[in-house]
Amino acid sequence: MKDLETGLCFASGGSGYDPLSSKINQVIPLSDQIKLFKDYKRKLKRGVGERRAKNIIDNSVFLISSGNNDILFSYFSTNLRRFHYDVPSYTDLLVNFASQFFRELYDLGARKFVVLNTSPLGCLPFSRTIGGDIVRDCANEYNEAVKMFNHKLSSHLTLLTQQLPHSTMVYIDFYNPFLDIILQPITYGFEVSKKGCCGTGLLETAILCNKFSPGKTCADSSQYVFWDSLHPTELASKAIVSKLIPQLYH
């Protein structure tokens, strides 16, 4: 019961604002995450009573990080959305999906939102490999799409704050701090940012990083910004977080 009172995670890696992303990655979509939150509220009320449960929800901070899988996989890598939308129309669609999700949470009692924007997807090792040039520079097309979405998301959060009484929407810039670490790894104590530590570091990710992966896992992951072709190492994650926390107090 103590866990129910202090904090829970409903996230599912590989999901996104776009329902298609969850289907592609075969993970729990936001719609089902909402159902899990509803179930949590019922359990919380049974455990601590309705008044205490309401107080917990009213004062909880809802941390949301999404959009990366939508742009990287549903749009660029698979082209499934790209067949039907250009970047401006797809980013509009994503903002609509995001808005619907935020409003559903609000209707369920959420009032304090911390929303991370989307990361510099074009500079991930995976994106450099499939979308970059011969020297694996950042895939600018990806980053331009991300910046367009982030701008629209920020503007919409401002609008939602005005439309939803007693709500607080805090927009956190994840893009620029992470990009700075990727482009200037030496400044942050890293040596390698164009490839991941595991396997070849060019394409492998998650379960594809295993003993059968081509190449060898690096001897010292502390020198790398990325563990695999998509995800930062533990040290890089700490460096990113140290640049995000001050934004909460502005």
Q: What are the DSSP calls for 195-226, one per residue?
A: EESSTTSSS--GGGSSTTSSS---S-GGGEEE
- Residue 1 has a pLDDT of 63
- Residue 4 has a pLDDT of 77
- Evaluate if pTM is beyond 0.85: yes
Which runs of E-coded beta strand occur in the chain? 61-65, 112-116, 168-172, 192-196, 224-226
Helix then strand then coil, % of the chain, to nearest 5: 55, 10, 35
| Average confidence (pLDDT) per 10 residues, the chain, 250 residues | 80 95 95 96 93 94 97 95 97 98 97 98 96 91 98 98 96 97 97 94 83 80 96 97 89
C-beta of residue 90 within 8 angstroms of C-beta of residue 195: no
- Residue 154 has a pLDDT of 98
Burial of 1 (0-12, 13-18, 19+ CB in 10 A): exposed
- Residue 204 has a pLDDT of 86
- Residue 226 has a pLDDT of 97
Sketch the domain layout of the chain as residue ranges. Answer: 2-172, 176-249
185: which DSSP letter?
A: G
CB-side neighbour CA atoms (13 Å) of 222:
1
